[in-house]
């Protein structure tokens, strides 16, 4: 577990509390703030889990990064599964 995972769980819990309090009091702004905190916490927790995975499995991480890089290069070059020929109208 790293700081991102821990902080994400804390933010998510804070969001749960805010949302629940907003529902009890009927405060829609507090509910929206709680939902935003929940989403932010989930995202940060997910980033922490990816970092933990990368530390435990460096070979798989390098492979995934290489595949992502090749896909990105191909899409930037215009080779995203279409032929290089232009269509005539």
Domain coordinates in residue numbering, the chain? 3-77
Question: What are the pLDDT digits (tens) for 32-69?
Answer: 999 999 999 999 999 999 999 999 999 999 999 999 99
Q: Other C-beta atoms within 10 Å of 87: how many?
A: 6
- Dihedral sign for Cα atoms in the order 35, 16, 30, 37: negative
Mean pLDDT of the chain: 89
Those residues with Cβ within 8 angstroms of residue 68's Cβ, 6 or more apart along the chain or in another chain? none
Alpha helix (H) residue ranges in 1-89:
3-25, 28-56, 58-77
């Amino acid at each position: 577990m790293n700081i991102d995972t821990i902080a994400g769980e804390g933010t998510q819990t804070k969001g749960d509390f805010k949302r629940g309090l907003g529902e009890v009091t009927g405060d829609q702004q507090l509910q929206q703030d709680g939902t935003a905190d929940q989403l932010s916490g989930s995202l940060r927790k997910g980033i922490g889990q990816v970092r933990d995975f990368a530390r435990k499995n460096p070979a798989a991480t390098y492979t995934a990064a290489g595949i992502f890089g090749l896909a990105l290069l191909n899409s930037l070059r215009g080779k995203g599964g279409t032929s290089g020929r232009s269509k005539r109208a």
